[in-house]
C-alpha cells in the first residue's frame, strides 16, 4: 500500500487556523462544529436527494458530494486508479425457465416436486444441473474456529446435501455461534460454499423444525422470496454470487420429511440431533436420489464506496490503518413519501466529513498521525451492508494491518422505545425507555470482541463526558450485525459501532434534521475523532 499526502496551498491556509487543540487532545478538533454538521446534513437529508436509495439519482448525488468534500480537503483518493470511488458490482437474479427437482428410489418410483410449492431456488444459486444421493448434514456449517463441522467424511462428496437453516444453539446466549446473534457461518450462501468445498453436487435447505416449530406456509414463503416482476430488486455482491457453482434450493418441510421417512427417521428427529456440539456426522437418507436443475437470470449493477485517506507520518507504521466510516445510503421513497434519513445515516456521513476536515486541519499545521487514517462512506448498507462487505473483499490496505474500524451509524438522536412497544416489532430485544433517559448516552456496539477498543473509547471520552453504554452485543435485536462494523468483525478486524439508538422515527419520513440533537452529535463526533487519533498514534 503506497500512501502519500498532498495538501493544496489554499487548503493549508484555510485549515491552519483550525488546528490548535487542547493539551493532550487530538489536533484539529476545533474544526468540528455543530453549524458545519448542520449545513452538510441539511443538504444530505433534503428532499432533493430523495432518500439516497442505492442506485438512484439521489444516492449518486450524495456520493459525489462526499467525493467533492474529500477532494476540497486535499485528502488522497483511496480508490483504484487515483479515484475517490471504490467500484464494485451488485447482483440480483430472476427465475429462468425449467427449475425442476425430481426424487427417485431404487425401485424406479419417481416423484416431481413443484417449484413454488415444494421448492424454490435461492437467488445466489448457480444455473446448473446435478444428481446424487441424499445426505443429511445437520446445519451444514464448517467453522474451524468453533471446532464445528457438519460435513466431515466422504458421504457429502457427489451428494445432494440436505441441511437445516439457521444454526445450533441459536436461542442460547452462551452459544459459540455468537450467542443469540446469527453467525455469518449460518448464512445460506456460506453453507452453499461450505458444501461446495467438500464436493457436494447440490444443496437443499429446509427450515429448522426443532427451534422453529409450527405450521409452514411454503407457497407464501416462496412468493415472498421471489416477488412479482416490478418489485425492487434484492441485491447481493456479484463476487459472492459468482463463487457458487452448484444448484441451491429451499425445500418445504413436507418434502424434507418425506425424504427422512424413507430412511426410517423424521426431519424432527434429525433436527433435534443436529444440536450436537461440534457438529453431526453426515447421514445417508436411504436409497433416494435427487435430480435437480436450477435456472436463474442474473443481472448486475455498478455501485461504489467513497474513500479518502491521510498518510501516517511514521515510516514504520504508515502502512497500518485506522478506518473512520459511516454509510451514506438510505431507503429512498415510497409513492410521494420521502425517507429523508437524517439520522440514518446522514448523521454518520457528515461526521466522517467533519473528522476528515479535522485531520486535514492538523496536517496543514504540520501534525499528522503516525498511522494512516482512511475515511470511508459506504454505500448499500440498507440492502445488506454490501458496500462494507465489498471493501473487505478488496481492501485499500491489508485487513490484518487495520487496527481498528470506528463506524458511526445513527448518532444524531436519543434512543427511545415507547411504552407498550418494548421487545416487539422494530424494537424487538429492546426495553422500553424514554428519549430523556438517553439524552447523554451513546451505545458502543462490538466492544466484547475487542476489550482494547473498549478501553480506548473510555479513555477518549474523558474530554466529552458522554454516557457510554456497552450493550446490545448479544441481544435479540441483532443490532450487532446490523451495521457496517459487522463485515470487519467477520474478518478478524477490531471494530466498533457508535449508535445513539433506535427511535419511533427510524425508517420513516419523520427522520429529518428537525429531530437531530446537534450538541450531543457534535460531542460524539469529537469522541470518535479523539479515539481515532489515539489509535493512530499509540
CA distance 404 to 399: 10
Q: In this predicted model, what pLDDT tens digit does every residue of 286-331 receive, in sequence order?
A: 999 999 999 999 999 999 999 999 999 999 999 999 999 999 999 9
- DSSP symbol at 433: B
pLDDT reading at 17 higher than 80: no
Q: In terms of DSSP H, where are the helices of 365-505?
A: 386-393, 451-460, 486-490
Contact 373, 470 (CB under 8 A): no
C-alpha cell at position 215? 405450521
For position 125, what pLDDT does the model report? 98
For position 109, what pLDDT does the model report? 78
Domain at 41-90+302-537, CATH from 3.50.50.60, 3.40.50.1820, 1.20.1630.10, 3.40.630.10:
3.40.630.10
For the chain, the domains span: 41-90+302-537, 98-294
pLDDT reading at 161 higher than 80: yes
CA distance 468 to 284: 52
Indicate the pLDDT class of residue 13, thresholds 50, 70 and 90.
Answer: very low
Which SS3 state, helix, strand or coil, does residue 98 take? coil
Residue 251, strand partner residues: 119
Indicate the pLDDT class of residue 107, thresholds 50, 70 and 90.
Answer: confident
Q: What would the mean pLDDT of 363-383 be, rounded to a whole number?
A: 98
Domain at 98-294, CATH from 3.50.30.30, 2.40.30.20, 3.40.710.10, 2.60.40.420:
3.50.30.30
pLDDT reading at 1 higher than 60: no
Query: Strand 321-327 vs strand 402-408: parallel, antiparallel, or unpaired?
Result: parallel
CA distance 272 to 260: 13
Q: In this predicted model, what pLDDT tens digit does every residue of 489-498 receive, in sequence order?
A: 999 999 999 9
Sign of CA dihedral 509, 390, 70, 517: positive
- 3-state SS of 31-95 is HCCHHHHHHHHHHHCCHHHHHHECCCHHHHHHHHHHHHHHHHCCCEECCHHHCCEEEEEEEEEEE
Distance of CA 536 to the CA centre of its chain: 25
Indicate the pLDDT class of residue 10, thresholds 50, 70 and 90.
Answer: very low
Average pLDDT in the chain: 94
C-alpha cell at position 294? 436450477
Indicate the pLDDT class of residue 231, thresholds 50, 70 and 90.
Answer: confident
Amino acid at each position: 500500500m503506497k500512501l502519500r499526502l498532498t495538501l493544496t496551498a489554499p487548503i493549508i491556509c484555510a485549515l491552519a487556523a483550525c488546528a490548535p487543540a487542547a493539551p493532550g487532545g487530538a489536533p484539529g478538533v476545533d474544526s468540528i462544529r455543530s453549524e458545519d454538521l448542520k449545513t452538510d446534513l441539511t443538504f444530505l437529508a433534503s428532499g432533493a436527494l430523495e432518500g439516497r436509495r442505492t442506485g438512484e439519482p439521489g444516492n449518486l448525488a450524495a456520493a459525489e458530494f462526499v467525493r467533492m468534500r474529500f477532494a476540497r480537503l486535499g485528502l488522497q483518493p483511496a480508490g483504484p486508479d487515483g479515484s475517490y470511488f471504490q467500484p464494485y458490482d451488485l447482483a440480483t437474479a430472476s427465475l429462468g425457465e425449467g427449475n425442476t427437482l425430481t426424487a427417485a428410489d431404487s425401485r424406479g418410483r419417481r416423484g416431481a416436486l413443484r417449484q413454488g410449492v415444494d421448492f424454490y431456488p435461492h437467488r445466489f444459486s448457480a444455473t446448473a444441473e446435478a444428481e446424487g444421493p441424499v445426505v443429511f448434514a445437520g446445519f451444514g456449517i464448517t467453522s474451524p474456529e468453533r471446532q464445528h463441522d457438519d460435513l466431515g467424511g466422504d458421504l457429502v462428496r457427489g451428494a445432494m446435501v440436505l441441511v437445516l437453516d439457521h444454526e445450533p444453539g441459536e436461542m442460547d446466549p452462551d452459544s459459540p455461534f455468537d450467542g443469540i446473534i446469527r453467525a455469518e457461518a449460518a448464512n445460506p450462501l456460506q453453507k452453499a460454499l461450505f458444501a461446495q468445498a467438500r464436493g457436494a453436487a447440490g444443496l437443499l435447505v429446509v427450515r429448522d423444525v426443532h427451534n422453529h416449530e409450527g405450521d409452514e406456509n411454503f407457497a407464501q414463503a416462496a412468493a415472498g422470496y421471489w416477488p412479482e416482476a416490478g418489485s425492487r430488486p434484492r441485491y447481493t455482491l456479484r463476487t459472492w454470487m459468482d463463487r457458487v457453482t452448484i444448484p441451491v434450493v429451499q425445500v418445504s418441510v413436507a418434502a424434507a420429511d418425506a425424504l427422512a421417512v424413507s430412511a426410517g427417521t423424521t426431519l424432527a428427529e434429525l433436527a433435534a440431533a443436529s444440536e450436537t456440539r461440534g457438529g453431526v456426522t453426515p447421514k445417508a437418507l436411504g436409497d433416494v436420489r435427487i435430480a435437480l436443475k436450477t435456472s436463474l437470470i442474473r443481472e448486475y449493477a455498478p455501485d461504489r464506496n467513497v474513500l479518502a485517506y491521510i498518510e501516517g507520518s511514521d515510516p514504520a507504521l504508515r502502512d497500518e490503518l485506522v478506518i473512520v466510516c459511516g454509510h451514506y445510503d438510505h431507503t429512498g421513497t415510497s409513492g410521494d413519501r420521502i425517507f429523508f434519513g437524517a439520522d440514518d445515516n446522514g448523521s454518520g456521513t457528515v461526521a466522517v466529513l467533519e473528522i476528515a476536515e479535522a485531520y486535514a486541519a492538523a496536517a496543514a499545521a504540520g501534525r499528522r498521525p503516525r498511522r494512516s487514517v482512511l475515511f470511508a462512506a459506504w454505500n448499500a448498507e440498507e440492502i445488506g451492508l454490501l458496500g462494507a462487505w465489498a471493501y473487505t473483499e478488496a481492501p485499500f490496505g491489508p485487513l490484518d494491518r487495520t487496527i481498528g474500524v470506528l463506524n458511526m451509524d445513527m448518532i444524531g438522536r436519543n434512543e427511545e422505545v415507547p411504552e407498550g412497544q418494548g421487545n416487539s416489532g422494530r424494537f424487538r430485544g429492546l426495553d422500553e425507555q424514554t428519549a430523556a433517559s438517553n439524552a447523554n448516552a451513546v451505545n458502543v456496539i462490538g466492544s466484547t470482541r475487542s476489550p482494547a477498543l473498549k478501553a480506548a473509547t473510555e479513555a477518549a471520552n474523558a474530554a466529552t463526558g458522554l454516557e457510554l453504554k456497552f450493550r446490545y452485543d448479544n441481544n435479540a435485536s441483532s443490532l450487532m450485525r446490523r451495521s457496517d462494523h459487522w463485515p470487519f468483525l467477520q474478518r478478524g478486524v477490531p471494530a466498533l459501532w457508535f449508535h445513539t439508538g433506535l427511535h419511533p422515527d427510524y425508517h420513516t419520513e419523520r427522520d429529518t434534521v428537525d429531530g437531530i440533537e446537534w450538541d450531543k452529535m457534535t460531542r460524539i463526533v469529537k469522541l470518535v475523532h479523539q479515539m481515532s487519533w489515539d489509535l493512530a498514534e499509540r
